[in-house]
């Protein structure tokens, strides 16, 4: 398949395949914790894990890392499955869960205790933190570090049996309290949590920590390349230590790549949860959210997100990508796939004083280059709406639209000339009275007139009122402060227009459109109704941003 992708991970896999090091082929996993919805950063990891497996005829597990019953739940499991499928990827078999392996994990924990490689520590969480040292100072040994294995085993079994309160004891690896790597300073492997788990119910009241769980699950599933983000680089020695110290005949390599970051948004699930819980957004699928559910509702197609991930590539270098680059990919994808139609978002009434007929039907293509999309009908009559900004009685230089006494062409229609500007009591322009040129009909124009501007319009007698939601960045600042999210929010991130759309749009089963000269829009999946249309702006039509400034190709 994509033989063109040549990042360091694919090169490594190619080398492993060529050297015959992968008797079971390429096996990857995507391991989300079901404590929130997936975001565009996760899409990078999904595209990488599922992508390499597809390219090398391998397999990918969707494995839920559900070791913290307090924060996890079925809503998130369902949302994650839906989003991975929506992106267009297929996992091997049924999804797996870290909790599926709780019995094996427990067994390996006992093994470590028996081997003197783990002990039950009875310090409080606070005391453990204090004795761990800092980045510059070594930690100090726990007074329980030399507890006899028998005693630790007994306590660990009683922890499992539910004899102790949360926090009374933990199981810790016996590695090196003074290690230069903080993660190796006798890390906690198990803790007591009297909480009901979304899958195992009340079967367990001790839960394994991520670092202990992840490597063992990888090994049990025969993962050939455990791909994770760079913040786990310092955890790799622990990943290896656990597998080296239990009876496990298989040891996957952990390989790290850089996280995707986007400015003007947040991507930690804790912060996204705060936005939802405090009502700063309408939910996880609010179109301003960087979640896949939000981007889907915003109208992004999965193809665009996959192309974005392909173009940003995979490396160990910092991966803060401009929002404009994502929007460029979205626009690129919609350019050839979205039908065109006309909508007036900020209407100004136009009356054609010399138009006597009942009205007539004009036609236009759904797409200027894609003839297969066919034609649409639109009615034309004496009463029209045009965009307010397409008229000016004080035009800037090079203004090619309508001015008093000037002419423009109405797309797929006629040339009109502005004869009179009507104002309301506040002095605002409230109507234009124009003359149309009967012999200037598009396609059979014999008028000989060549006005410079072409503008869009809708027939006021047929157009359907529509609510159009325009979005700006969720945050005012490139790097929102974790502790003051609310203060950094952009108060103008949602702006609603009340406009009019041509009826063919409302009647079409198609959801995404280019409203000519305005942008790309999608029928809102929750709020839209054919008789009361609600559209979201997906992306504007163009941007000053150029593709060569960013990305790999
Ligand atoms: P958070 O820290 O917000 O809870 P997380 O990274 O812990 O997020 P997980 O559900 O554990 O979320 O992530 C699943 C996988 O997605 C992990 O392998 C993680 O490395 C990867 N991932 C998460 N965020 C990004 C990102 N911004 N870019 C690339 N990969 C990411
Ligand atoms: Mg995580």
Ligand 1 centroid distance, CA of 30 (Å)? 10
- pLDDT at residue 473, rounded to an integer: 95
Residue 304: DSSP 8-state: H
**Which residue among the candidates 33, 303, 431, 467 is catalytic per the annotation?**
33
- Phi/psi at 60 (5° precision): -135, 130
Alpha carbon distances (Å) from 492 to 230, 273, 387, 473: 35, 21, 22, 8
Check pocket membership of 269 for ligand 1, CB cut-off 6 A: yes
Ligand 2 centroid distance, CA of 322 (Å)? 24
Give the whole-angstrom CA distance, residue 511 versus residue 521.
Answer: 8
- Identify the H or E element spanning 522: strand 519-523
- pLDDT at residue 364, rounded to an integer: 95
Check pocket membership of 42 for ligand 1, CB cut-off 6 A: yes
Ligand 1 centroid distance, CA of 39 (Å)? 9
Check pocket membership of 63 for ligand 1, CB cut-off 6 A: no
Which of 41, 309, 317 has most ligand 1 atoms within 8 Å of CB, for mutation?
Answer: 41
Contact 99, 66 (CB under 8 A): yes
Check pocket membership of 45 for ligand 1, CB cut-off 6 A: yes
Note the helical H segments in 371-462. none
Check pocket membership of 32 for ligand 1, CB cut-off 6 A: yes
Give the whole-angstrom CA distance, residue 257 versus residue 109.
Answer: 29
Picking from 388, 377, 436, the residue whose alpha carbon sits closest to that of residue 412 is 377
Range 368-377 burial, b when 16+ CB lie within 10 A, else e: eeeeebeebe
Three-class DSSP category at 339: coil
Give the whole-angstrom CA distance, residue 175 versus residue 241.
Answer: 9
Give the torsion through C-alpha atoms of 537, 538, 543, 545, to 10 deg: 150
Which atom of ligand 1 lies nearest, measured to the CA of 229? 20
Q: How many CB atoms lie within 10 A of CB 363?
A: 12
Query: Is 33 considered catalytic here?
Result: yes
CB contact set of 68 (below 8 Å; sequence gap of 6+)? 33, 35, 193, 207
CB contact set of 323 (below 8 Å; sequence gap of 6+)? 262, 263, 264, 265, 473
Which atom of ligand 1 lies nearest, measured to the CA of 33? 10
pLDDT (tens digit, 0 to 9) for every residue of the chain, 553 residues total?
445 688 999 999 999 999 999 989 999 999 999 999 999 999 999 999 999 999 999 999 999 999 999 999 999 999 999 999 999 999 999 999 999 999 999 999 999 999 999 999 999 999 999 999 999 999 999 999 999 999 999 999 999 999 999 999 999 999 999 999 999 999 999 999 999 999 999 999 999 999 999 999 999 999 999 999 999 999 999 999 999 999 999 999 999 999 999 999 999 999 999 999 999 999 999 999 999 999 999 999 999 999 999 999 999 999 999 999 999 999 999 999 999 999 999 999 999 999 998 999 999 999 999 999 999 999 999 999 999 999 999 999 999 999 999 999 999 999 999 999 999 999 999 999 999 999 999 999 999 999 999 999 999 999 999 999 999 999 999 999 878 899 999 999 999 999 999 999 999 999 999 999 999 999 999 999 988 999 999 999 986 545 444 443 3
Check pocket membership of 268 for ligand 1, CB cut-off 6 A: yes
Which atom of ligand 1 lies nearest, measured to the CA of 267? 3
- pLDDT at residue 3, rounded to an integer: 54
**Which residue among the candidates 29, 185, 236, 269 is catalytic per the annotation?**
269
Angle, helix 210-220 to helix 236-245, in steps of 10 degrees: 60
CB contact set of 444 (below 8 Å; sequence gap of 6+)? none
Give the whole-angstrom CA distance, residue 353 versus residue 436.
Answer: 8
How far out from the chain centre does Cα 484 lie? 22
Angle, helix 102-114 to helix 210-220, in steps of 10 degrees: 110
The protein residue with its alpha carbon nearest to ligand 1, atom 10, reads 32
Check pocket membership of 187 for ligand 1, CB cut-off 6 A: no
Query: Is 269 considered catalytic here?
Result: yes
Ligand 1 centroid distance, CA of 313 (Å)? 16
Q: What angle do CA 351, 354, 359 make, to 5 degrees?
A: 70
Residue 62: DSSP 8-state: E
Ligand 2 centroid distance, CA of 226 (Å)? 14
How far from each other are the two terminal CA atoms of the chain, in whole angstroms? Answer: 18
Phi-psi region of 293 (alpha: psi -120 to 50; beta: other; left: phi over 0): alpha
Picking from 297, 275, 286, 205, the residue whose alpha carbon sits closest to that of residue 525 is 297
Ligand 2 centroid distance, CA of 33 (Å)? 6
Q: How many CB atoms lie within 10 A of CB 237?
A: 15
Tokens of 88: 């267009």
Q: What does the chain come to in residues?
A: 553
Picking from 353, 487, 368, 350, the residue whose alpha carbon sits closest to that of residue 432 is 350
Which of 42, 83, 91 has most ligand 1 atoms within 8 Å of CB, for mutation?
Answer: 42
Check pocket membership of 453 for ligand 1, CB cut-off 6 A: no
Query: Is 151 considered catalytic here?
Result: no
Tokens of 421: 């500007």
Tokens of 34: 């079901």
Ligand 2 centroid distance, CA of 548 (Å)? 33
């Amino acid at each position: 398949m994509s033989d063109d992708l040549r990042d360091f991970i694919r090169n490594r896999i190619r080398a492993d395949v060529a050297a015959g090091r992968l008797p079971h082929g390429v096996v990857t996993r995507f391991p989300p914790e079901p404590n929130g919805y997936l975001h565009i950063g996760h899409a990078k990891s999904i595209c990488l894990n599922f992508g390499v497996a597809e390219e090398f005829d391998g397999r990918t597990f969707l494995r839920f890392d559900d070791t913290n019953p307090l924060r996890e739940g079925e809503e998130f499991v369902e949302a994650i499955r839906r989003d991975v499928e929506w992106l267009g990827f297929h996992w091997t078999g049924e999804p797996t869960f870290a909790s599926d392996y709780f019995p094996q994990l427990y067994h390996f924990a006992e093994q470590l205790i028996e081997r003197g490689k783990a002990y039950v520590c009875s310090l409080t969480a606070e005391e453990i933190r204090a004795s761990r040292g800092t980045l510059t100072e070594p930690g100090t040994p726990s007074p329980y570090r030399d507890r006899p294995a028998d005693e630790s085993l007994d306590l660990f079994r009683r922890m499992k049996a539910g004899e102790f309160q949360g926090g009374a004891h933990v199981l810790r690896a016996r590695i090196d309290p003074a290690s230069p790597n903080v993660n190796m300073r006798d890390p906690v492997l198990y803790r007591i949590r009297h909480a009901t788990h979304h899958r195992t119910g009340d079967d367990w009241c001790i839960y394994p920590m991520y670092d202990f769980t992840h490597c063992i699950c990888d090994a049990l599933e025969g993962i050939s390349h455990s791909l994770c983000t760079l913040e786990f680089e310092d955890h790799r020695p622990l990943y290896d230590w656990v597998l080296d110290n239990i009876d496990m005949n298989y040891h996957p390599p952990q390989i790290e790549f850089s996280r995707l970051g986007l400015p003007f948004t947040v991507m930690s699930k804790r912060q996204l949860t705060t936005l939802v819980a405090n009502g700063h957004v309408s939910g996880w699928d609010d179109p301003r959210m960087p979640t896949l559910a939000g981007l889907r509702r915003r109208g992004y197609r999965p193809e665009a997100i996959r192309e974005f991930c392909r173009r940003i590539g995979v490396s160990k270098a910092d991966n803060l990508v401009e929002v404009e680059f994502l929007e460029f990919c979205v626009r690129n994808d919609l350019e050839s796939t979205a039908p065109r139609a006309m909508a007036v978002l900020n209407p100004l009434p136009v009356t054609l004083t010399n138009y006597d007929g009942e009205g007539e039907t004009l036609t236009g293509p759904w797409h200027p280059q894609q003839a297969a999309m066919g034609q649409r009908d639109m009615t034309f009559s004496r009463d029209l709406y045009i965009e307010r900004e397409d008229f000016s009685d004080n035009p800037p230089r090079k203004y090619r639209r309508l001015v008093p006494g000037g002419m423009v062409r109405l797309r797929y229609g006629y040339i009109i000339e502005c004869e009179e500007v009507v104002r309301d009591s506040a002095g605002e322009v409230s109507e234009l009275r124009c003359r149309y040129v009967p012999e200037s009909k598009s396609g059979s124009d014999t008028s000989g007139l060549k006005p410079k501007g072409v503008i869009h319009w809708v027939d006021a007698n047929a157009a359907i009122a529509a609510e159009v939601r325009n979005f700006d960045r969720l945050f005012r600042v490139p790097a929102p402060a974790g502790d003051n999210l609310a203060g950094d929010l952009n108060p103008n991130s949602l702006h609603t227009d009340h406009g009019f759309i041509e009826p063919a749009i409302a009647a079409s089963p198609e959801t995404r459109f280019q409203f000519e000269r305005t942008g790309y829009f999608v029928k809102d999946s929750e709020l839209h109704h054919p008789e009361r249309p609600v559209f979201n702006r997906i992306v504007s039509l163009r941007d000053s941003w150029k593709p060569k400034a960013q990305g790999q190709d």
